[in-house]
Amino acid sequence: MTTPAYLGEFEHLLLLAVLRLGSDAYGLDIARELDARAGRSVSRGALYTSLDRLEDKGLLRWKPSPGSLARSGMPRRLYTVTPAGLTALRAWRGTLRRMWRGLEDLLKEPTS
């Protein structure tokens, strides 16, 4: 078994967004999801090159789907997280959990 791939912070967010969106995640939805949940307005240059990088690492894969009139007939790229992607996410979550353990009191969110 190989070591799970290391994830950058933005890559982490991207994988989570794709997971949340389910089966029909494509670029525009991913950008919206990041905006809505993470408050990140992301430049398309960064978005697509990062998606490509995740694909290169084998953490994401995609299949094309035919485009609509609103897209001038251009296809969509529908993303899914690969098993390797899930493994990487789990490993990363494990790392975070271990690091968080014992700090909950110190870092708990203020209640109002």
Partner 1 sequence: MSVPVRLKPATTDATEAAAPPRLAEWLLRRTLPHGVRGETILGDLVEEWRERGGTRAATVWYWRHALSLTAGYGRRGERPAGQAQAGDRSTHMFLDNLLHDIRYAFRSYAKAPSFALVILATLALGIGASTAIFSLVNGILLQPLPLPDPDRLVYANEINSKGDRISVSWPNYLDWRARARSFDALAISRDEPVTLTGTDRAQRLRAGRVTGNLFLVLGITPVLGRGFTDDDDQPSAAPAVVLTDAFWRGQMGADRGIIGRTLTLDSVTHTIVGVLPRAFEFPRFGFPRPHDLFVSIGPIAGSPNLTDRGNHNGFSALGRLKPRVSVETADRELQAIAAGLEREYPNTNSAISVRAERLADRLVSDIRLTLLTLLGAVGFLLLIACVNVANLLIARGAARRHELAVRAALGGGRARLATQLLVESTLVSLLGGALGIAVAAWLLRLLIAVAPDGTPRLDDVRLDGTALLFALVASAVCGIVFGALPALQASGVRGRHALVRGRAAGFAAQSHRLRRGLMVVETALALVLLTGAGLMMRTLQQLTRVETGFRVDHVLTTRFQLAGAEWTVPRRHAFYADLLSRLRALPGVTNAALAYSLPIDGSNWNSIFIVGDKPVPERAKLPSAAFSPVSAGYFETLGMRLLKGRVFNATESPDSPKVVVINETLATRLWPGEDPIGKRLKQGWPETPAAIAPWREVIGVVADVKFNGIASDTPLQAYLPFAHEPSRSVAIVMRTTVAPTALAPALEGIVRGLDKDLPLFQVRTMEQMLDTSIARQRMSLLIFVVFAIVALALASVGLYGVVAHGVTERTHEIGVRMALGAEQRHVIGLVVKQGLSMAVLGTAIGVAGELALSQWVQGLLFGVTATDPRTLAAVVAMLLAVALVACYVPAWRAARVDPTMALRAE
Q: Select 30 or 88, whichever has its Cβ closest to partner 1.
A: 30
Q: How far is the CB of 111 from partner 1 (least distance, A)?
A: 24
Q: How far is the CB of 78 from partner 1 (least distance, A)?
A: 9
Q: Select 72 or 112, whichever has its Cβ closest to partner 1.
A: 72
Contact between 79 and 26 under an 8 Å Cβ cutoff? The reply is yes
Q: How far is the CB of 89 from partner 1 (least distance, A)?
A: 14
Contact between 17 and 33 under an 8 Å Cβ cutoff? The reply is yes
Please report which residue ranges of the chain form alpha helices under DSSP H.
9-21, 27-38, 44-56, 83-100, 104-107
Q: Select 4 or 76, whichever has its Cβ closest to partner 1.
A: 76
Interface ranges with partner 1 (CB under 8 A):
19-22, 26-29, 32-33, 36, 43-46, 48-49, 52, 64, 67-72, 74-77
Sign of the Cα pseudo-torsion (58, 10, 104, 106, in order): positive
CA dist 110 and 56 (Å) reads 40
Q: How far is the CB of 16 from partner 1 (least distance, A)?
A: 11
